Chains A and B, each alone.
Chain A
Amino acid sequence: MKIVAVTSCPTGIAHTYMAAEALERAAKKAGHEIVVETQGAGGKKNIPADVIAAADVAIFAADLPVREKERFAKLPLIEAQVKSAIKDAAKIIAEAEALVSAKG
């Protein structure tokens, strides 16, 4: 499964990156590919459009509105709070798996 994800938090210096790391670890452990866009205070770097186009599912672990959200509009979407991605990223990855298999 190919996953794209966006993380963000109000301050943009801690939880955004912790959630990104947690999601990356959980996705790799479950045998998936993942690219995470950290919409934090640091340098902004969008996920390339072709990566989004090739993805099976999107995850927003974001406590702020996702910037340029329309880029992900065609993908099945899991939305979570940034903190739940840090605490239990495996569960969010499992939800993404279930969503993708339900859509067949």
Chain B
Amino acid sequence: MEAIFTEELIDLDVKGETKADVIAALAHLVDAAGRTSDVNALIADVLAREAIMPTGFEGVAIPHARSAACTAASVVVGRRKEGIDFGADDGDANLIFMIVAPADGDDAHLTILAALARRIIDEDFRAALLNATDAAEVLAVLTQGDAE
């Protein structure tokens, strides 16, 4: 099974002026890692989901989609000093998890994504990611307790 979390899917200083910019920047990491067949379609799917209901809350955003353009379930972690507006009424996001899964994602991957979604609720988990000094440390936090 291809790993859902990898260092190449972590950007500790993700650029962009808008949430669409940030989503595009994170999607390009998915593309660079060879995990999408069509990066523009992937971006469009995430933006379409985001348009239904924005995914920001408490300084975090979780743009996500199941997409036919996604060839391997992936979690991209973006961090930035300056918050970006993800439609939350309680503050801009400094920590962004972009979660993408193939349209026909298998249960094993979906289970890992579900476990991650649950951990995002945990303030200590979020703090550990925000305080991590480099991508290797972020990856270590993400995979802590993983059997993978």
Contact = CB atoms under 8 A, between A and B. Distances in A.
From B99, B119, B120, name the one whose CB has the most chain A CB atoms within 10 angstroms. Answer: B120
From A17, A38, A40, name the one whose CB has the most chain B CB atoms within 10 angstroms. Answer: A17
Contacts of B105: 13, 41
A85 to B, nearest CB: 10
Given A17-B115, A87-B90, 6 more contacts: A11-B66, A18-B120, A40-B110, A40-B114, A41-B101, A63-B53
A17 B115 CA distance: 8
Interface residues of B, number: 26
Interface string A55-98: 00000000100000000000000000001001100000000000
A38 B121 contact: no
Contacts of B121: 18, 21-22, 25, 86
B77 interface: no
Contacts of B118: 17-18, 20-21
B146 interface: no
